[in-house]
Structure 1
Amino acid sequence: MSLLGKILVRKREDLENNEVKKENLGIHPLVSVKAKYKELRDYILPVFGAIFLGVFIGVSAKLIMDNKEKFYSTTVNVELNEVKNEKNMKNIDNSAKETKLVNINQKNSEEKKMFTNQNVGKIEQNKIEETKIVNNDNIDERKKLIKEILNKARIKELSGDLDEALVLYKKAWVLDRKNVDILYKLAVINFKIGYFKNSIKYADEILKIKKDFIPAILIKGKAYEKLGMFSKAQTVLEEAYFYYPENKDLVETLAKLYEKQGDYLVAKDYYEVLSNMGYIEGDVGLAKIYEKLGDKKKAYEYYKKVYENPNIPDDLRIKIEQKLISLEDSDEGI
């Protein structure tokens, strides 16, 4: 640009600046201040409004939370008080019940003690009287006492109180040690309770007095069987069978003993003896043995023989009928 051009440009800029100054000189100073205040007001008022609203909300929330806490605290306290009151009432009731129960137990204990003392007195008195009778040679009094004891023992036995019956039978035996019937009762009761060794002991006592007392031999053999001493049981029973081959109970006991041991052939022989003696138990036993041996035809024959017997009980007849049907429906047939 030429020097003249630069001068003209500069002059034009000066003129523009002068015009701006003139314009500014024509405006009142407050006008610019008001404009700035207006701008500031438009900005500050919303800010203050927001701050006020926030403070208001915060204070309100605080008041609400305080009230809630007070409410919940009051509710919890009320509930706790109710629970405490309920517990206190229960404790009072339990205490009253316990006191009442203690009084009842104390009363029962006193009554029981009184009753026990009375019973002890009676028992002691009875023992004294029994001792006098035992030591006394008065046969009539002794027999009377034995009879009373045996009656009590039978009542206990029938009611199922075998332990007490055993005690009473022993008392009677002390008064009459040679009484076979009392000894047999002792053997039987011991067997029923499960005192098999004691049962054998009393059976031996019987056989010392009366060696042909078959019931004692039978219970002795059965007691050995219960103890698992099968060889001894067989010996006892077979020795007796040698002397009493026609005793039905002895033969049947031997047959069942061998059957339980799985010796079916020997069992069959004894059941045949029983059948030949005319006892239905022999026929039933043979039917079972033949069935176990796998001879269903023979089993069917004996079951049918039993079924046709008019003297068998109804429950046995029903069982035999079911057996016959079962054998008829078997694969092998009859």
Structure 2
Amino acid sequence: MSKTGKFLQDQEEFDIQQEQADIHPFSQVKPQRRRKYIIIFLFLLTVVVYSGIGYLIFRDQSKNDTSPEVSKKETKTEQLSEKLRNKISIPHFDINLSGIEEAVRNSIKHFDITEVSYFKKKENKTARYNYYMLKAKENEIKGRYIDAISFYKKAWEINKKNPEILYRLSLLHFKIGYYKGAEKYVKQFLKIQKKDLKGLLLLSKSYEKMGNLKKAKIILEEAYFLYPENKDVLENLGRLYEKENALIVAKDIYKILSDMGYLEGKLGLARVYEKLNEKKSALKIYREIYQDPNIPESLRTKIENKIISLE
């Protein structure tokens, strides 16, 4: 059989088979292509699925690898905290915060910068004044008159409403022998405390120490008219007249003081009688003094010697 005949025979057989199968001649081509696409799709899907599974497994493994380190750190931290708690004993206490919020609000509401600054400054000033006064008195008691004067001056600069500071300054200057300073401060004191007895007496003594007996006597006479029955005024005035040898005036002043019952008056009167050469009058007074049980023994001895010398 020729090739053409064979080809035709084969084609004829193929057609018969197609007719028997009731399949279109091109229907065999399409299923083959679709199968290829499905295979490729399934392959790609498989790759994606396995890749995702691998990623998840790797991530979980990484977490598991790091968790022991974190766990170790947490364990060490807990151990350290426990040691600190054992070493440091912190007492338990409760804080009552009730009412604090309201108090803070009220404080802010009424807060005034000007008043706070003023009172703070005033408190500091008062504290310094009290400190200087305390130190001044301490040093005065201990006999440290120079230091006491320094502190009194500082106190006076802060508070010039207390004239007593001026008197203390005058008295301390008198004690250290600086009578001009005593005069200065006691005059300032008397400008504020006019007719003050202790100020007048101190001024008179300051003049006397400076040798100005005239001024000293004028001050005492002024004090005598203000305080005619004051023992210190009468004694100092009688002594000044006696010092000036004005014995009659001195005798009268001592007589007043003696009649008031003061020992100083009797001693002064007996002394003036001696100077006036009235020995009997002087002896009489000395005997009266000697019989007084209240006089000190040292004075009694002196009076006894006076009596012996006058008899």
In the superposition, the TM-score normalised over structure 1's length comes to 0.55
The equivalent residue for 2:138 is 155
Distance 1:137 1:247 in 2: 47
Counterpart for residue 175 of structure 1: 158
Q: Displacement of 1:310 after TM fit?
A: 2.2
C-alpha distance after superposition, 1:108-158 (max 9, x if no partner) = xxxxxxxxxxxxxxxxxxxxxxxxxxx978555444332321221222223
Which of 172, 178, 197 is matched with 1:189 structurally? Answer: 172
Change (3 A) 1:287 1:137: farther
CA distance in 2 between partners of 1:203 and 1:185 (Å): 9
- Offset at 1:238? 0.4
Retained in 2: the 8 A contact 1:283–1:305? no
Distance 1:142 1:321 in 2: 59
Superposed, 1:1-334 pairs within 5 Å as: 140-328=123-311
Report how far residue 203 of structure 1 moved: 1.2
In 1, Cα distance between the equivalents of 2:211 and 2:228?
Answer: 25
**TM-aligned CA distance change 1:321 to 1:136, over 3 Å:** farther
Change (3 A) 1:304 1:158: same
Which letter maps to 1:284? L
Per the alignment, in what secondary structure is the counterpart of residue 245 of structure 2? Answer: coil
* Residues 265/140 of structure 1: CA separation in 2 closer, same or farther (3 Å cut): farther
Higher-Rg member (1/2) = 2
Shift of 1:308: 1.6
Does the 8 Å CA contact 1:256/1:267 hold for their aligned counterparts? Answer: yes
| 8 A Cα contact 1:196 1:226, kept in partner | yes
Where in structure 1 are there 5+ consecutive unaligned residues?
A: 1-134, 329-334
> What is the identity, as a one-letter code, of the residue corresponding to 2:233?
L
Please, what is the CA RMSD of the aligned residues?
1.9
Rounded to whole Å, the distance in 1 between the matches of 2:156 and 2:132 is 10
Letter in 1 for 2:238: A
Helix, strand or coil at the partner of 2:288 = helix
Amino acid in the other structure paired with 2:140? E
Structure with the largest fraction of helix:
1
Are the aligned partners of 1:178 and 1:209 in contact in 2 as well (CA < 8 Å)?
A: no
Q: Percent same amino acid among aligned pairs?
A: 47
SS in 1 for 2:292: coil
Distance in 2, Cα, partners of 1:324 & 1:292: 15
Counterpart of 1:125 in structure 2 is: none
Tell whether the 8 Å contact from 1:307 to 1:320 is kept in structure 2 after alignment.
yes
Q: How far does residue 180 in structure 1 lie from its aligned partner after superposition?
A: 2.5
Q: Which amino acid aligns with 1:290?
A: Y
- 1:269–1:141 CA distance, 2 compared to 1 (3 A): farther
Evaluate the alpha carbon distance shift between residue 291 and residue 177 of structure 1 in structure 2; reply closer, same or farther with a 3 A threshold: same
Query: How many Å separate the matches in 1 of 2:217 and 2:129?
Result: 36
- How far 1:258 moved relative to its partner? 1.4
Q: C-alpha distance in 1, partners of 2:277/2:119?
A: 67
Q: Which amino acid aligns with 2:209?
A: K
The amino acid across from 2:153 in the alignment is K
Q: Which runs of 4+ in 1 moved over 6 A?
A: none
| In structure 2, C-alpha distance between the alignment counterparts of 1:249 and 1:138, rounded to whole Å | 44
Give SS of 1:228's match. Answer: coil
Query: 1:4-42: CA deviations, max 9, x gaps?
Result: xxxxxxxxxxxxxxxxxxxxxxxxxxxxxxxxxxxxxxx
Deviation at 1:159, TM superposition (A): 2.7
Aligned residues: 194
The SS at the match of 1:178 is: coil
